[in-house]
Each structure stands twice: as C-alpha cells, then as structure tokens.
Amino acid sequence: MTAKTHRQDFKAIAADYGQRYGILIALALVCVALSVASEFFLTQRNIINVLRQASINGILAIGMTFVILTRGIDLSVGSVVALAGVVSASFATTSATAGIAGAPYGFYIALSIGILVGMAAGWVNGVLVAYFNVPAFVTTLGMLSAARGLTLLYTGGRPVPSLTPDYRYVGTGDVFGIPMPIILFAVVFIAAFLVLSSTRFGRHVYAAGGNPHAARVSGINVKRVRMMVYVISGALAGLAGMILAARTGSALPQAGIAYELDAIAAVVIGGTSLSGGVGQVTGTLIGALLISVVNNGLDLMGVESYYQQVIKGMLIVAAVMLDQARHRHA
C-alpha cells in the first residue's frame, strides 16, 4: 500500500469518527474551553449544577427520542409538565385551599397520579396519531394548548403551594451527595437505553420508524408501537413535571412553557433523524448535556440570557447541518 492510500485511509477514518462522535467531541471541546476560561467550571458544585439543570430537559428529551424515532413529534410535553405537576401536587399539598379533598396523601400516591396524568395525555396523543391518522404535529399542538388550558382550569390559575417534605425530596433530596433529579435522569436514561437497544419493543420502534410499511408486512403492530411512544413521552413529561414542582416547592400552572423546544433540540443535536428510524438515546443524553453546559458556560462568563437563546438556536442548526453532511457521505 502506498503512502497516499494510507493517508486517504487515515482521512476517511478521521472523517468517519468526526461524524460519528462529532457531538461528543463538541461537548468535550466546550468543556475544555470552559474549564480554561473559568476556574469555577470544573468545581464539583458546578458540575452537579450542570447535571441538575440538564436532568429535566434530559428526561423530556428521552421521551421525545422514542417519538421522533417513529417519525413523530411531541409538542405537548411542556404543557403536560405543568398539568402533571399541578394535579400531582394537589395530592401532596398541606394547603387547605389548593389541595384535593383529604390531601396531603402519601407521596407514592401523588407521584403515581402525576405519571398517570402524563400517560393519559400521551395516550390521547397516541390514539389520535396512530389510529385516527391525525398528523403528530397537529395532534400534539392541540394537546399543547388543551393541557395548558386544563392546568389553568384545575388550579384557577394559582400555584399549588406547600408541598410535603416527602414530595419535595424528589426535587431537592440527594443520595450520597447526588441530587435526586440527576439520579432519576440516570435511571430513565439507562432504562431507555436498554429498551431501545435490547428489547423487542426497541426493535419495533426502529423498524416502525425506518420503514412503517416493511414493519407492518413483517408482522409488527405499527399502530400500537406509535401509540406506545406517545404514552412513554407523556409518562416522562409527568415525571419531569413532578421533579420541577418538587424542586421549586410549589407547582406552577405556567411551568414548562417552551420546554418542548429544548427537548427537541437535545434529540436533534444528539443525531436522531427527524425522518425516523435512526438515532440513540446516548446522542440525546449528550445533546441535553451540551445544551446545559453551553447555558452554564455563558452564565459563568456573564453573557446575557438573550444571547444565550441566539447561541442555542445556532447550535441546533449547526448540529443538523452536521447530521446532513453525515447522510450525504453515507
């Protein structure tokens, strides 16, 4: 083999790695740059802070990954965060006016209710998308509005305050110094990773997203798969809503506004294709971390939050451009 082909091989391999691990490399570079720019970045307290900030968006983004893998989209997660938060909080409040009769109930009951509310919203989305063929964009746009409306109706527009200490532990507690939101995010990530990589349902998700016709002919119940992914997304939105309420100590009816955008951004930055069938939750994890690290870094450097939004927008588009380049080469 000549030196020229060696060099070509090396270039090809480097390009391949660049495309495959581009986001991870970007994350690493940003971290290195920030640790040079600010001595505070690499402190334990700041790292935990970054992870905690990533956790709610990360949990939503993992649910979103399932949906996007099947060629769908879930715009309703931000509103479901608020709805599940207030309903669940109303079972765990010591306030005499804001709670449901008999509140506070045990925190297991309150948490289960929150997850169930999220699943119910996801189920409605899923049934409409899978069985009534309403486009996912339209269905979940409707749910975005309806769930927000239900939240305001349920609370009369007022927060649900005075949550029990048990309940608040979900947002503020820690195990061996690691905050609960981070632990829950890790558990959700590992579970989602295993489901997508090692279960029959995971194979169904990729097949239904990659080519729904071929999946159907192969005996896969594509409609059921499509419904299930919205239920998963809804359940995780419910969980995220409760973490958010527990962290702040009261459930706000205006919580979670525009959260769907950050969740979609994390999925897209993580390399999951919006046309379905291709992507991993590891990418989504990195995407969520990247968003959080960039926000944190800009905070540390004292950049105005308005600029942060501009930079995040550029990040999303750049990530998709990278993804397009990858598909062109493949």
> Could you list the residues that contact other proteins (CB under 8 A)?
5, 8-9, 12, 198-204, 206-207, 210-211, 213-221, 273, 276-278, 330
Find the helix or strand (DSSP H, E) in which 175 lies: strand 174-175
Nearer to other proteins, 4 or 45 (CB): 4
DSSP 105: P
Q: Give the span between the Cα atoms of 170 and 55, in whole angstroms.
A: 12
CB atoms within 10 A of CB 43: 12
Q: Give the span between the Cα atoms of 293 and 30, in whole angstroms.
A: 8
Nearer to other proteins, 161 or 202 (CB): 202
Q: Give the span between the Cα atoms of 40 and 262, in whole angstroms.
A: 25
Query: In angstroms, what is the minimal distance from the CB of 18 to other proteins?
Result: 15
Of 65, 66, 114, 62, nearest in space to 227 by CA: 66
- Give φ, ψ of 174 to 5 degrees: -150, 160
Query: In angstroms, what is the minimal distance from the CB of 189 to other proteins?
Result: 18
Nearer to other proteins, 144 or 207 (CB): 207
Nearer to other proteins, 273 or 282 (CB): 273
Nearer to other proteins, 218 or 324 (CB): 218
User: Could you give the dihedral angle defined by the CA atoms of residues 19, 21, 23 and 27, in that order, rounded to the nearest 10 degrees?
Assistant: -140
Q: Give the span between the Cα atoms of 186 and 205, in whole angstroms.
A: 22
Query: In angstroms, what is the minimal distance from the CB of 281 to other proteins?
Result: 16
Query: In angstroms, what is the minimal distance from the CB of 211 to other proteins?
Result: 4
Query: In angstroms, what is the minimal distance from the CB of 144 to other proteins?
Result: 29
**Backbone CA torsion sign across 144, 269, 228, 72:** positive
Nearer to other proteins, 112 or 211 (CB): 211
**Which residue has 């391999």 as its token pair?**
13
